[in-house]
Structure formats: structure tokens, C-alpha cells
């Protein structure tokens, strides 16, 4: 039997390892577990979480370590434990069931299934004892044991209804396909304008962010506002969009969600002010926020945002990076069994570390006797205040960081996920190009190489998760492939090496060959030859990270622009055609898709720099250019490179190019003109042989 406690530790994620010593007979998600449930005629208890999840730890301590509860589970159920980060497909399907039953979801996720994998009851956290409005886990187990034994017909009916609900929530209706959604050019009545108008309605003008507490960073929404800034002339509309982005970036950087000592961000804030976080630090948040602060710096010129970028990169490269180049997934919210203990301070603790600068440090970071979190203080700053303090504050900050490094660190989730690593390397590559930071360049390349060398099986197919001592496992999903395409494409733009573009095309064709829906368009979460769950879903809604389909559409569009590969262009457009009807109605739920639709609708700008012209490369990288791609260095064989004399830059739209730009001033002028490609007159016949 595939019991977790009997499985070699190198084959298990840190989350599953945390449960090895539970008295519960935990099984892996495996056909043998379901066969065992069928043979014993028992329901499945499916528990889904992740290693950095605070409430997962709470339920584990309260329930899964309790021998009496374990006896109930072992006697009446087959219990399966799943790491949602390794199996996002399983998590997505059963999260739909929980949301259909309860109206909300989260982790730990608690779901009860029939042996044929249909859910019939579920929720999230259950306490060890009955509370007002909330049944205890023991009460739930007793009730479900009785229902399974005496009311099996009700179980089957509920399972059928939930299976139908999952399918209806996971499969887009045919009427949502609308190719006309691509007919947007960024004007105030277009799709981008609709999205930013919706942001205005949700915006918190006092504390930034979108929506009420708890507040999540939502980098895609920040990028939407910044993209709007780039598409509008000076005026109230541009000022409003920029104001939303600035207020949000400033408030997040000032709040307690931001680690003012070590860099990086916690997962989200429990309050409006971004002050009190859930303290876990996830790699995907670092990737998304690095990009948002980078774009904020590029658009506004505010050096504070580049300081935040540097802090994020420093944190990830110092605390999460393996010796091999891969990046660990997360750090826990808890240390020594206490949430936030690692990050909080009292005045006495500050004085013990640095008595000379204690008063200045305490005033700068708001450290008080009463504290702001369970008697201690989460470091924070006033919104808009400088992030770098006076000399005495910076000296004290360094001393606090050194002292904190001697504390017991939160638990580390040391698995390396293809999706999140590609996401991070892509963002870091973009930052390295924009700043010329060689350390970031080397680190982005190292992670890209690590993925190529370690996350593919002997057959060349990609895998989801890697751990030292255990290697790679679990077939990769659409999101893994989509981010790999984006990562390798951006590494090609960073380095000018054709190898990365070739790798991007290789992954893109695997994505199209194995994940595409040939009938309706878009990409399924799992490959056609992978394990199929009760519903084959498509990831289209943006959540903590952009959806797999949105990332695929953007990445394939950009790769198609660089290479002329028609399969990439076609499948990117089919994604947008499939979900196009949804974008105008729910633009902020599809923020990354809106950006992809904008790029497809206006058409992108291809910039080719031939020969050794670092000055022209630098000019291109001087600002954020979300509608452009860069080819330079080694020729990839793309039509963009055809018959291009060396020593100049060629600014093209749809493979129609302006006159060669041999100096940075001319290139800057042409890049501004490229923002209005509709003004160009397409060359007749073969545009590759002509220049507009």
C-alpha cells in the first residue's frame, strides 16, 4: 500500500513529510489507495494543503496528531494527503467542489469522496471541538460514517450533483467564445480601458490595493494600471491609473507584509493597511512582485521601487536558492510553533541588538511597547516614506538582520517547482536586462539551465517537481510549460543566445501537441496522456498567479513574434477567442489575459539589433516595453533576421520594418512611433523585403 510513512523520504514533498509521523494512515494520491477504498467499501478522506500554510499546521496539531481522531479515520476511511503545489490539478478540481458546497474555499482543504473519486462533502478547516456555527472534525467524521453506512443513496445523489457542478464550473460555455474581443487598440472604450475602470471601482484610495481585507498583492492588476499609463497621453485618465499603481506599490512596500530587514514579501495581509501578514513567503509572490516593482520603477522613474526589486532578489538568491541553481518553493509562516515569531520585535530586543541606534531604529520602524501583533511589533513605515533610512537606521537595520539570522528560521519547503522557478527566472531575466545587473543575469541563466537539465524525464517530457535526493517527479502541467516558454524566451532576449529561443520553441510545441483543445481552443490543465481526473479542466481565471492559459497566450504570442512560428501565433489567438466573451464582463478576473488580448489586438513590435551594438540594446531596455520583443546577438533563423546589414536596429511591426536605426536617438524615436503601429502603411507583397 502507498502509505506516506512507508515511502522513501526523498520521494515526498516537505508537506507530506510533515505528516509522516501522524497516527493517521495517510496514503499517497494513487490508484492503489482508491482500489483499497473500493475493496473495503470506505469513503475517501482527502486532505489538501501545503507546507507553509499556517492553518494546515493548526489542523494537523489539533486533529491529525490526535490518536482518537486517527482511530476514527483509520477505521472508517481511506485517508489521502496531497500537496497542492505538486498536484494543482487535484487541488483545482476539488476546490471547485468545496466552493460549490460552501461558497468559499481555502486550505487546509477537507473533502470526502466516493471510491470512484466523486466528492460528496467538503470544507476547509474543522476545529477539534464543536464551536458556534462550526462542527468539530470529530462530529463531521461520525456523521459521515453514519451517512455512508445508512444513507448511501443520498451520498450517490450528492456526488452526482457535485460532479455536475464541478464540470459546469470548470468548462466554459460555448457562448463565451468571442473573437471580437481581440478588436481592441487600447483606447478609452477598449478592453484595457474597461479593465482599468473596473480597477477604479475596486481601488482603496487610502491604502492602495483592490478590494477589502484580506488583501493580496495581485501583481497582474498593478501591471494593468501601469500598462494603461503607457497607452494614454498626459491627462486625468493617465494620472488616475498611475495613482492607483503608485499608491498600491507604496503601501505594500511600507507595510508589514514587506520584510524590511531581509527583503521579499509575505503572501498577503489580513488587514486594509498591509500591516499584519500571513507570514509565509512564497516564491511565486516574489516573482510577481519583483516584476511589478520593476515596471513601477521603469514607468515612474522612482528609485524606491528599484530598491524593493533589489530586496526581493537579494532575499531569493540568499535564502531560497539551491547550490544547483534551482529555487526552493517557500518559507513557513511559523517558527518554533509560533506564527510570525521570526519577524517581530520588541523595544527590548532592538535595544539588546543595537543599544546605540535603538531609538532611531524603533522610531523608523514603529517599534512600540504595546506592539501591533500579539505584544510584539511587525516592522513597518508610513506610506510613501523613504525605504532607506538615515545612517544610524541603516546601521541598526543591518544589526537586526544579523541578529535575526541567529533565530530559528521558519520551515523551508525545499522542493523546486518548474512553474514557479520558470516564473522567477523570467522575472529576474527581465530585471537583469533593465538594470544591467550581472549577478541577476547569472542567476537567471543558472535557474534556466537547472530546469532544462533536471526537470525533464528520459523521454524529454517535462516534470513538475524536483528535490535533492529524490530527483524529479510528477508529469508537468500546462502552467509549467507556459512559464517555461516565457522564461526561455526572456532569457533569449537577455543573453542574445539562440539556444534559449530554440528551447522556448521546443517547450511550446510540447505544450501545443499535448495540452491544446483541438476543438474549442485553449489548453487543458493536464496533458492528453496524463492521469485524467473526474473533469478535464482548463485554468483560465487569474488567482494568486496568472492562469495557465493567459501565460500561454502571452508567451506564445511573444515567441511567435520573435520566430514567426505560426503554430504559436495561432494557438495564442485561439486562447483569446475561446475566452474573449468573458474579458469585457470580468476584466479583473482575467487581468493577464487582458494584457495578452491587448498585445494580440494591437499587434506587437519586433526589434532586431544586428551586430555588436550594446548602445542600441541599452536604448531598447531603457523602459518597460510590454508590446515589444527584442532579438539581438545570435541569429535564430527567424524571418526577422533576413538580409539585415549589421550595425543597426530594425523596428518592425508584423514583419514590416522602418528604416534602419544606426544611433540611439533614431531608435528612441522609432520606438515611440512603434506605440502607434496603426499609422504605418504596410508594405505590399512580401513585407520582409521592404521597409516602410
Q: What is the DSSP string of 434-453?
A: HH--HHHHHHHHHHHHHHHH
Packing angle of the helix pair 191-202, 591-602 (nearest 10 deg)? 160
- Stated as kind and residue range, the H or E segment containing 218 is none
- DSSP-derived secondary structure for 56-91: HHHHIIIIIT-HHHHHHHHHH-EEEEEETTT-HHHH
Pairing type for strands 605-610 and 648-653 reads: antiparallel
Predicted confidence band of residue 653 (pLDDT cuts 50, 70, 90): confident
Higher pLDDT, 175 or 297: 297
Give residue 183's pLDDT.
Answer: 59
Phi-psi region of 475 (alpha: psi -120 to 50; beta: other; left: phi over 0): beta
Per-residue pLDDT averaged across 574-588, rounded?
Answer: 89
Give residue 178's pLDDT.
Answer: 62
At 10 the three-state DSSP class reads helix
CA-closest candidate to residue 328, choices 281, 364, 268, 290: 281
Contact 538, 524 (CB under 8 A): yes
- Phi and psi at residue 606, in whole multiples of 5°? -100, 130
- Stated as kind and residue range, the H or E segment containing 607 is strand 605-610
pLDDT, tens digit, 9 for 90 and up, residues 381-436: 999 888 888 999 999 999 999 999 999 999 999 999 999 999 999 999 999 999 99
CA distance linking residue 295 with residue 305, whole number of Å: 9
**C-beta neighbour count of 583 within 10 angstroms:** 25
Give residue 313's pLDDT.
Answer: 98
C-alpha cell at 308: 524593493
CA distance linking residue 420 with residue 202, whole number of Å: 28
CA-closest candidate to residue 489, choices 547, 438, 436, 427: 427
Predicted confidence band of residue 676 (pLDDT cuts 50, 70, 90): low
Higher pLDDT, 342 or 11: 342
C-alpha cell at 396: 541598526
Q: What is the 3-state secondary structure (H, E, C) of 357-401?
A: CHHHHHHHHCCCCCCCECCEEECCCCCCCCCCCCHHHHHHHHHHH
How much is the pTM?
0.94
Phi-psi region of 233 (alpha: psi -120 to 50; beta: other; left: phi over 0): beta
Q: pLDDT at residue 680 above 90?
A: no
Domain regions of the chain by residue span:
4-170, 184-333+413-602, 343-407, 605-689
Contact 231, 192 (CB under 8 A): yes
Calculate the dihedral angle through the C-alpha atoms of 539, 542, 544, 549, rounding to the nearest 10 degrees. Answer: 40
Share of the chain above pLDDT 70, in %: 94
pLDDT, tens digit, 9 for 90 and up, residues 347-361: 999 999 999 999 999
Predicted confidence band of residue 164 (pLDDT cuts 50, 70, 90): confident
Per-residue pLDDT averaged across 15-41, rounded?
Answer: 95
Per-residue pLDDT averaged across 531-557, rounded?
Answer: 93
Give residue 280's pLDDT.
Answer: 94
- Stated as kind and residue range, the H or E segment containing 602 is helix 591-602
Contact 53, 107 (CB under 8 A): yes
Range in 123-137, 292-306, 501-515 with the lowest mean pLDDT: 123-137
Give residue 692's pLDDT.
Answer: 34
CA-closest candidate to residue 225, choices 594, 638, 631, 577: 594
C-alpha cell at 93: 478540481
CA atoms within 13 A on the CB side of 105: 17
Per-residue pLDDT averaged across 73-96, rounded?
Answer: 95
pLDDT, tens digit, 9 for 90 and up, residues 176-198: 666 665 554 444 348 899 999 99
CA distance linking residue 223 with residue 236, whole number of Å: 19
CATH of domain 4-170: 3.40.30.10
- Stated as kind and residue range, the H or E segment containing 48 is strand 44-49
**C-beta neighbour count of 681 within 10 angstroms:** 7
Pairing type for strands 78-83 and 26-27 reads: parallel
Listed in sequence order, the residues at least 6 apart from 584 whose beta carbon sits closer than 8 Å to its beta carbon are: 181, 191, 194
Radius of gyration of the chain (CA): 26
Give the chain's end-to-end CA distance (angstroms, integer).
68
Predicted confidence band of residue 601 (pLDDT cuts 50, 70, 90): confident
Q: pLDDT at residue 686 above 50?
A: no
Protein fold of 184-333+413-602? Glycosyltransferase (1.50.10)
Predicted confidence band of residue 682 (pLDDT cuts 50, 70, 90): very low
CA distance linking residue 527 with residue 618, whole number of Å: 40
- Please name every residue paired with 413 in a beta bridge, in sequence order, or none if there are none: 330
Q: pLDDT at residue 565 above 50?
A: yes
Give residue 186's pLDDT.
Answer: 42
Burial class (CB in 10 A: 0-12, 13-18, 19+), 683: middle
Contact 382, 264 (CB under 8 A): no
Pairing type for strands 330-331 and 281-282 reads: antiparallel
Predicted confidence band of residue 656 (pLDDT cuts 50, 70, 90): confident
Predicted confidence band of residue 690 (pLDDT cuts 50, 70, 90): very low
**C-beta neighbour count of 689 within 10 angstroms:** 9
CA distance linking residue 658 with residue 675, whole number of Å: 13
Higher pLDDT, 657 or 267: 267
Mean of the per-residue pLDDT values of the chain: 92
Amino acid at each position: 500500500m502507498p502509505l506516506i510513512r512507508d515511502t522513501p523520504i526523498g520521494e515526498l514533498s516537505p508537506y507530506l513529510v510533515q505528516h509522516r509521523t501522524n497516527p493517521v494512515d495517510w496514503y499517497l494520491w494513487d490508484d492503489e489507495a482508491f482500489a483499497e477504498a473500493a475493496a473495503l467499501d470506505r469513503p475517501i478522506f482527502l486532505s489538501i494543503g501545503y507546507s507553509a500554510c499556517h492553518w494546515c499546521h493548526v489542523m494537523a496539531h489539533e486533529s491529525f496528531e490526535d490518536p482518537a481522531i486517527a482511530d476514527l479515520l483509520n477505521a472508517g476511511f481511506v485517508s489521502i494527503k496531497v500537496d497542492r503545489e505538486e498536484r494543482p490539478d487535484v487541488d483545482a478540481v476539488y476546490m471547485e467542489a468545496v466552493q460549490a458546497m460552501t461558497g468559499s474555499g481555502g486550505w487546509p482543504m477537507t473533502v470526502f469522496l466516493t471510491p470512484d473519486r466523486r466528492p460528496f462533502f467538503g470544507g476547509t478547516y474543522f476545529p477539534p471541538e464543536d464551536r458556534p456555527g462550526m462542527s468539530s472534525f470529530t462530529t463531521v467524521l461520525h456523521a459521515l460514517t453514519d451517512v455512508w453506512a445508512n444513507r448511501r443513496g443520498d451520498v450517490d445523489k450528492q456526488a452526482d450533483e457535485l460532479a455536475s457542478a464541478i464540470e459546469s464550473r470548470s468548462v466554459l460555455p460555448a457562448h463565451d467564445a468571442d473573437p471580437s474581443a481581440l478588436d481592441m487598440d487600447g483606447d478609452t472604450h477598449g478592453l484595457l480601458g474597461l479593465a482599468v475602470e473596473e480597477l477604479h471601482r475596486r481601488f482603496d484610495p487610502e491604502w492602495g490595493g483592490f478590494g477589502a481585507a484580506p488583501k493580496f498583492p495581485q501583481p497582474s492588476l498593478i501591471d494593468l494600471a501601469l500598462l494603461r499609463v503607457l497607452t494614454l497621453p498626459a491627462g486625468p485618465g493617465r494620472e488616475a491609473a498611475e495613482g492607483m499603481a503608485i499608491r498600491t506599490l507604496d503601501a505594500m512596500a511600507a507595510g508589514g507584509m514587506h520584510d524590511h530587514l531581509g527583503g521579499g514579501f509575505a503572501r498577503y495581509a489580513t488587514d486594509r493597511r498591509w500591516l499584519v501578514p500571513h507570514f509565509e513567503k512564497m516564491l511565486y509572490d516574489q516573482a510577481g512582485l519583483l516584476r511589478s516593482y520593476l515596471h513601477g520603477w521603469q514607468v515612474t522613474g522612482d528609485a524606491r521601487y528599484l530598491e524593493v526589486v533589489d530586496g526581493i532578489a537579494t532575499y531569493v538568491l540568499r535564502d531560497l536558492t539551491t547550490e544547483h541553481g534551482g529555487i526552493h518553493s517557500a518559507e513557513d509562516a511559523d517558527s518554533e510553533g509560533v506564527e510570525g515569531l521570526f519577524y517581530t520585535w520588541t523595544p527590548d530586543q532592538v535595544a539588546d541588538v543595537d543599544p546605540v541606534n535603538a531609538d532611531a531604529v524603533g522610531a523608523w520602524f514603529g517599534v512600540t511597547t504595546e506592539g501591533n501583533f500579539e505584544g510584539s511589533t511587525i516592522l513597518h513605515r508610513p506610506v510613501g516614506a523613504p525605504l532607506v533610512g538615515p545612517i544610524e537606521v541603516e546601521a541598526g537595520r543591518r544589526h537586526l538582520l544579523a541578529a535575526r539570522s541567529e533565530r530559528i528560521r521558519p520551515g523551508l519547503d525545499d522542493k523546486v517547482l518548474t512553474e514557479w522557478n520558470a516564473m522567477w527566472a523570467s522575472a529576474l531575466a527581465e530585471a537583469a536586462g533593465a538594470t544591467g545587473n550581472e549577478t541577476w543575469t547569472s542567476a537567471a541563466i543558472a535557474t534556466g539551465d537547472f530546469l532544462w537539465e533536471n526537470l525533464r524525464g528520459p523521454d524529454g517530457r517535462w516534470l513538475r517537481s524536483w528535490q535533492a535526493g529524490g530527483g524529479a517527479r510528477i508529469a508537468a502541467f500546462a502552467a509549467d510549460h507556459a512559464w517555461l516558454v516565457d522564461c526561455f524566451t526572456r532569457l533569449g532576449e537577455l543573453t542574445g543566445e539562440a539556444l534559449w529561443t530554440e528551447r522556448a520553441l521546443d517547450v511550446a510545441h510540447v505544450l501545443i501537441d499535448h495540452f491544446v483543445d483541438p476543438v474549442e481552443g485553449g489548453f487543458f490543465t493536464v496533458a492528453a496522456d496524463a492521469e485524467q481526473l473526474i473533469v478535464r479542466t482548463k485554468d483560465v481565471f487569474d488567482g494568486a498567479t496568472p492562469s495557465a492559459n493567459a501565460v500561454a497566450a502571452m508567451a506564445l504570442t511573444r515567441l511567435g513574434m520573435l520566430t514567426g512560428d505560426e503554430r504559436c501565433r495561432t494557438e495564442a489567438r485561439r486562447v483569446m477567442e475561446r475566452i474573449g466573451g468573458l474579458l469585457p464582463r470580468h476584466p479583473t478576473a482575467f487581468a493577464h489575459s487582458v494584457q495578452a488580448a491587448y498585445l494580440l489586438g494591437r499587434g506587437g513590435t519586433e526589434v532586431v539589433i544586428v551586430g555588436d551594438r550594446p548602445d542600441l540594446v541599452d536604448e531598447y531596455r531603457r523602459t518597460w516595453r510590454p508590446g515589444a520583443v527584442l532579438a539581438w546577438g545570435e541569429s535564430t533563423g527567424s524571418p526577422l533576421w533576413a538580409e539585415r546589414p549589421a550595425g543597426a536596429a530594425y523596428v518592425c511591426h508584423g514583419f514590416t520594418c522602418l528604416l534602419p536605426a544606426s544611433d540611439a536617438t533614431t531608435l528612441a524615436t522609432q520606438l515611440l512611433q512603434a506605440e502607434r503601429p496603426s499609422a504605418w502603411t504596410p508594405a505590399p507583397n512580401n513585407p520582409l523585403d521592404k521597409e516602410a
